[in-house]
Structure 1
Amino acid sequence: MDKFPDSEKLTLNIGYVDLGKIDLLVREGFYSNRSDFIRTAIRNQLSAQATEVERVVVRQIFDVGLRDFSSAELISKRKAGERLSINVVGLARIASDVTGELAAATIESITVLGSLQASAEVKTALAGRIR
């Protein structure tokens, strides 16, 4: 598989007072930097909501974490006459050697809550199936 980053960059707007409070905590040594504070806050909220997340994951049958889809796996599905409904919470990666034609022939739908890494050709082929 190709090497991809293990995180996604986000941009957010935050009020000046909240930003000042974050900077104060950083200056006082509670956090190493603003990003450390934000990552910690996100982890704390996800931990507080873990039960709710787990219920939705189980109910909607999501894979959680990293899920790779290789060309061999998709070729095998095509030969078996099967189609995939992909549901991932985290990172879904479609191998760089998967063609748009193979993806279109084997992937019925794709829902990724997190990030989808695939070639532009594959994303174009699946455009109407990505939710």
Structure 2
Amino acid sequence: MADLEKVSINLGPVDLGQIDLLVDQGYYTNRTDLIRIAIRNQLDSHAADLKQFREEYYYVMGIMDFDRERLEDVLRNGAKLSIKVIGGLIVSKDVSLELAQAAFGKVKIYGIIRAPENIKKFLRQLHEEGKA
């Protein structure tokens, strides 16, 4: 099973009551089930919007993971990575900040970053620069 991230939301008492009523009536197994299905339905309704973002970068929906060897291969090929990750980007502990700076060009990350703290800061900075 893929890594899950916990998300907290605040709901008013009427919304929460309606959710509890639907759970009680057997439409959903629990509150989380209803919320997860509602989110998936909303994402499905925006499928065309999400698709347009795939064209500017190398696009991954899921988990993308880089170690030192993989980034060195990128550099040997004379490339810089332009990636968009919707899900998670993982950079292993054997990657130095210098290697990450040399290998990553444009980066957009929607989800989580798991990397050494200095690399995480660099990747977030690249992400922010792309918003300008």
Deviation of 1:38 (Å): 0.5
Determine the C-alpha separation between the residues in 1 that align with 2:105 and 2:5.
Answer: 26
1:112 Cα deviation from its structure 2 partner: 0.8
**1:58 equivalent in structure 2:** 54
Equivalent of 1:110, from 93, 107, 110?
107
1:45, 1:125 → 2: CA distance? Answer: 32
State the partner residue of 1:43: 40
Alignment-mate amino acid for residue 57 of structure 1: F
User: Which among 30, 33, 47 is matched to residue 33 of structure 1?
Assistant: 30
User: How far did 1:40 drift?
Assistant: 0.6
Matched, 1:79 2:76: yes
- Give the superposition deviation at 1:127: 4.4
Taking the aligned partners of 2:115 and 2:87, their CA distance within structure 1 comes to 14
Q: Deviation of residue 109 (structure 1)?
A: 2.8
Identical-pair percentage: 38
TM-score normalised by length of structure 2:
0.81
Q: What secondary structure, in the 3-state scheme, does the structure 2 residue paired with 1:130 have? A: helix
Q: Provide the rounded CA distance (Å) in 2 between the counterparts of 1:73 and 1:35.
A: 38
Change beyond 3 A, Cα 1:113–1:124: closer
Relative to structure 1, is the Cα distance of residues 10 and 63 closer, same or farther in structure 2, using a 3 angstrom cutoff?
Answer: same
Native 8 Å contact 2:54 2:84 kept in 1: no
Q: Distance in 2 between matches of 1:107 and 1:31?
A: 43
Shift of 1:42: 0.6
Q: Structure 1 length as normaliser, TM-score?
A: 0.82
Structure 2 portions without partners, runs of 5+: none
Show structure 1 runs of 4+ deviating over 6 A: none
Aligned Cα RMSD in Å? 1.9
Evaluate the alpha carbon distance shift between residue 116 and residue 26 of structure 1 in structure 2; reply closer, same or farther with a 3 A threshold.
same
SS at match of 2:121: helix
Residues 75 and 103 in structure 2, CA contact (< 8 A), matched pair in contact too? yes
